[in-house]
Structure 1
Amino acid sequence: MKFETAQMKRLIDLIKNKYFLVTLAFVVWMIFFDKNDLFSQYEYHQQLDKLKQEEAFYKIETEKVNKDLDELTSDKAKLEKFAREKYLMKKDNEDVFVIIHENKK
């Protein structure tokens, strides 16, 4: 019993200590009320992860587009094929027929 009362007295003295109270108030303020609180930091971290994924995706897409551009500027046959497929271009003596498949539901 004597040991428990000594611990209680020590705890009460700690709670009455002004330095402890100021430190506790500071920690609570930083965790919950500051503009950079824990919840905001978590959201920022999630947003950063999403932006990193988007960056990786766009780097891959940029590499693909640059590769296609190099192929189109260096090879005339590929340029002609690209123009025919994407923009339905044709030569003067040709006819182009576009076939559209209807989806049956």
Structure 2
Amino acid sequence: MIQKVKILLEALGALRNRYLITGAIALFWVTFISDIDLIYLLRSKQTLIAQERQVVHYKHEIHALYTQLEDLSSNPGRLEKFAREHYFMKRENEDLFRIIPPPNEAHQFSD
């Protein structure tokens, strides 16, 4: 019982130390109250990681588009196919028919 009281008094004595109190207040301030607190830093880190992933994704996408551009520039047959498929271009004296399923039937054939 006496040892418990001594431990309690030592703990209270440590609380009287002004450096410990100042350090605890500063740590609390930096962690929760400050404009750039710990929560803000963690959210910023998550945002940074997500944006770095987007950068990598867009770099891969740009590389794929450059590859496609080189292919279209070097192969006239591919260029014609691309123009016909994406921009519905046609040759002279040629008819083009587009068959578009109704919106409610489009999901039925996706299986």
Residue deviations 1:23-79 (CA, integer Å, cap 9, x gap): 111111111112221111121122122112212221221121111101111111111
Other-structure match for 1:59: 59
Other-structure match for 1:82: 82
Aligned length: 105
TM-score after normalising by structure 2: 0.85
When residues 5 and 85 of structure 1 are mapped into structure 2, their CA distance, relative to the original with a 3 A threshold, is same
Matched, 1:24 2:24: yes
- Once the two structures are TM-superposed, the CA of residue 93 in structure 1 deviates from its matched residue by 2.3
For residues 13-52 of structure 1, the aligned pairs below 5 Å read: 13-52=13-52
Deviating 4+ runs (over 4 angstroms): none
TM-score after normalising by structure 1: 0.90
Q: For structure 1, list consecutive stretches of 5 or more residues without a partner in the other structure.
A: none
Other-structure match for 2:10: 10
Q: Write the distance in 1 (CA, Å) between the matches of 2:61 and 2:50.
A: 17
Identical counterparts, % of pairs:
30
Q: What's the secondary structure of 1:35's corresponding residue?
A: coil
Other-structure match for 1:91: 91
Residue deviations 1:70-92 (CA, integer Å, cap 9, x gap): 11111111111111111111111
Query: Root-mean-square deviation (CA), in Å?
Result: 1.4
Q: What's the secondary structure of 1:104's corresponding residue?
A: helix
